[in-house]
C-alpha cells in the first residue's frame, strides 16, 4: 500500500485536472504553476506505465485508464474533504473531551453539569470515564481530571482541590447518637475500607486511638463511589474523600461522625497539553471548575 500511495500529490494533481478537464484550472485550485501540474501527471503516468490524458487544444480528456483511476481518486478525495469538514464542524461546536474516573464523574462532576450547560450552552462536553493513563499524543482527550500528586512531566497541570478524608455514615447507622461521636464509639462500628486511600490508621493516630482498635478485616472497596454507596446503605462507616462525599452530605444521605479530617498529600488536578489551557473552550471549562 505504501508503494501504491507514494505519489499522493501527483494523484491530487491528476484528480483536479480530471475534474476540470484542464491543467490550468487544476493549477489554480491547488495554487501551483501549470508546469508543476504537468510534471506531477507525467510522474504518475511513468509510475503507472499508462497515459492518463489525451492532450487537446482546448484542454485534456481522460483515457480509458484515466477514467478508471478517476473513479477511485474522486471517491477518495471526496471522503477526505468530508473528513476535514467534519473536523471543522466539531471544532465549531466547541466540544471538549474530559477524561476522569467514574467515581469523580458520578459523585462530583455530573450532578454539577447542568450549571455549566446553562452558563455555556454552546460548549459540548464528552465524558470519558476511566482511570487509565491518558496519552495526549495519541488520544482525543482534551482535559484529564486526575487525583494524585504532581507527576505529569511535559503537561500543563493545576490543582483544583486539596483533598482530605472525613468520617461519614448513614444517619440510620448511628440513630440518635450525639454528634460528634467519641473516637472509641466510631471505632466500635463496622469500618469500611478504601483500597487506595488507606487512612483509618492515620485517623486513629490523629484522634489518639491505638491502631489495634482498627478492624482491617472488612471488605475493601476499589471504587470510591461504591464505598460511599455501601455507607449510604448503612453497611458501615466510611473514611471518604470530602469532595466525593459532599453532595451526599448536602442531601442528608450521609452525616459526619466527628470533626477530625485526615489531610492528604494528593489532590485533584486539571491536566492538559501545554498551551491548551489557553484555548477558549478549555479556559472556560477550567475557570468553571475552579468556581464550583
What are 176-232's pLDDT values in tens digits?
999 999 999 999 999 999 888 778 999 999 999 998 888 877 788 989 999 999 999
What are 41-67's pLDDT values in tens digits?
999 999 889 999 998 888 899 999 999
Q: What pLDDT sits at residue 83?
A: 75
250 found inside a domain: yes
Share of the chain above pLDDT 90, in %: 67
Which of 93, 119, 152 is the last residue in one of the domains?
A: 93
Instruction: Assess whether 58 and 168 both reside in one domain.
Output: no
Instruction: Assess whether 165 and 236 both reside in one domain.
Output: yes
Instruction: Assess whether 81 and 102 both reside in one domain.
Output: no
52 found inside a domain: yes
- pTM value surpassing 0.85: no
Structural domains counted in the chain: 2
CATH code assigned at 20: 1.10.10.10
User: Does the pLDDT value for residue 8 go beyond 90?
Assistant: no
Mean pLDDT confidence for 257-282: 93
Instruction: Assess whether 67 and 137 both reside in one domain.
Output: no
Instruction: Assess whether 85 and 164 both reside in one domain.
Output: no
Instruction: Assess whether 89 and 31 both reside in one domain.
Output: yes
Which of 77, 93, 109 is the last residue in one of the domains?
A: 93
Q: What pLDDT sits at residue 3?
A: 47
What are 242-267's pLDDT values in tens digits?
999 999 999 999 999 999 999 998 99
Instruction: Assess whether 222 and 155 both reside in one domain.
Output: yes
Domain that holds residue 80: 8-93
User: Does the pLDDT value for residue 132 go beyond 60?
Assistant: yes
Q: With bands split at pLDDT 50, 70 and 90, how would you rate the model's confidence at 145?
A: very high
107 found inside a domain: yes
Instruction: Assess whether 156 and 286 both reside in one domain.
Output: yes
Q: With bands split at pLDDT 50, 70 and 90, how would you rate the model's confidence at 1?
A: very low
Instruction: Assess whether 51 and 176 both reside in one domain.
Output: no
1 found inside a domain: no
Instruction: Assess whether 14 and 142 both reside in one domain.
Output: no
Q: With bands split at pLDDT 50, 70 and 90, how would you rate the model's confidence at 75?
A: confident
User: Does the pLDDT value for residue 5 go beyond 60?
Assistant: no
Q: What pLDDT sits at residue 153?
A: 84
Q: Which of 25-29, 110-114, 131-135, 249-253 has the lowest mean pLDDT?
A: 131-135
Instruction: Assess whether 149 and 287 both reside in one domain.
Output: yes
Which of 66, 93, 120 is the last residue in one of the domains?
A: 93
Instruction: Assess whether 274 and 159 both reside in one domain.
Output: yes
3 found inside a domain: no
Q: With bands split at pLDDT 50, 70 and 90, how would you rate the model's confidence at 94?
A: confident
User: Does the pLDDT value for residue 91 go beyond 60?
Assistant: no
251 found inside a domain: yes
118 found inside a domain: yes
CATH code assigned at 162: 3.40.190.290
| Secondary structure (H, E, C), the chain | CCCCCCCHHHHHHHHHHHHHCCHHHHHHHHCCCHHHHHHHHHHHHHHHCCCCEEEECCEEEECHHHHHHHHHHHHHHHHHHHHHHHHHHHHHHCEEEEEECHHHHHHHHHHHHHHHHHHCCCCEEEEEECCCCCCCCCCCCCEEEEEECCCCCCCEEEEEEEEEEEEEECHHHHCCCCCCCCHHHHHCCCEEEECCCCCHHHHHHHHCCCHHHCCCCCCEECCHHHHHHHHHCCCCEEEEEHHHHHHHHHCCCCEECCCCCEEEEEEEEEEECCCHHHCHHHHHHHHHHHHC
Q: What pLDDT sits at residue 87?
A: 65
2 found inside a domain: no
Amino acid at each position: 500500500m505504501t508503494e501504491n500511495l507514494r505519489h499522493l500529490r501527483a494523484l491530487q494533481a491528476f484528480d483536479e485536472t480530471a475534474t476540470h478537464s484542464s491543467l490550468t484550472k487544476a493549477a489554480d485550485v491547488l495554487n501551483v504553476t501549470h508546469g508543476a501540474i504537468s510534471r506531477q501527471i507525467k510522474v504518475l503516468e511513468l509510475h503507472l506505465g499508462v497515459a492518463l490524458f489525451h492532450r487537446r487544444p482546448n484542454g485534456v480528456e481522460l483515457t480509458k485508464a484515466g477514467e478508471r483511476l478517476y473513479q477511485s481518486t474522486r471517491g477518495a478525495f471526496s471522503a477526505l474533504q468530508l473528513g476535514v469538514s467534519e473536523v471543522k464542524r466539531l471544532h465549531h461546536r466547541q466540544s471538549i473531551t474530559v477524561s476522569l474516573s467514574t467515581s469523580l464523574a458520578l459523585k462530583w462532576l455530573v450532578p454539577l453539569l447542568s450549571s455549566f450547560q446553562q452558563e455555556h450552552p454552546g460548549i459540548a462536553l464528552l465524558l470519558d470515564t476511566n482511570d487509565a493513563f491518558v496519552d495526549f499524543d495519541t488520544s482525543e482527550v482534551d482535559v484529564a481530571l486526575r487525583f494524585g500528586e504532581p507527576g505529569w512531566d511535559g503537561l500543563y497541570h493545576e490543582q483544583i482541590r486539596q483533598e482530605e478524608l472525613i468520617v461519614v455514615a448513614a444517619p440510620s447507622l448511628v440513630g440518635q447518637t450525639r454528634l460528634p461521636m467519641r473516637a472509641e464509639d466510631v471505632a466500635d462500628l463496622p469500618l469500611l475500607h478504601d483500597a487506595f486511600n488507606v487512612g483509618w490508621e492515620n485517623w486513629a493516630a490523629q484522634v489518639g486511638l491505638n491502631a489495634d482498635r482498627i478492624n482491617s478485616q472488612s471488605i475493601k472497596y476499589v471504587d470510591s463511589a461504591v464505598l460511599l454507596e455501601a455507607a449510604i446503605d448503612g453497611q458501615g462507616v466510611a473514611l471518604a474523600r470530602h469532595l466525593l462525599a459532599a453532595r451526599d452530605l448536602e442531601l442528608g444521605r450521609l452525616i459526619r461522625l466527628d470533626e477530625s479530617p485526615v489531610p492528604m498529600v494528593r489532590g485533584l488536578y486539571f491536566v492538559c497539553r501545554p498551551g491548551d489551557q489557553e484555548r477558549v473552550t478549555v479556559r472556560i471549562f477550567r475557570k468553571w471548575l475552579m468556581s464550583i
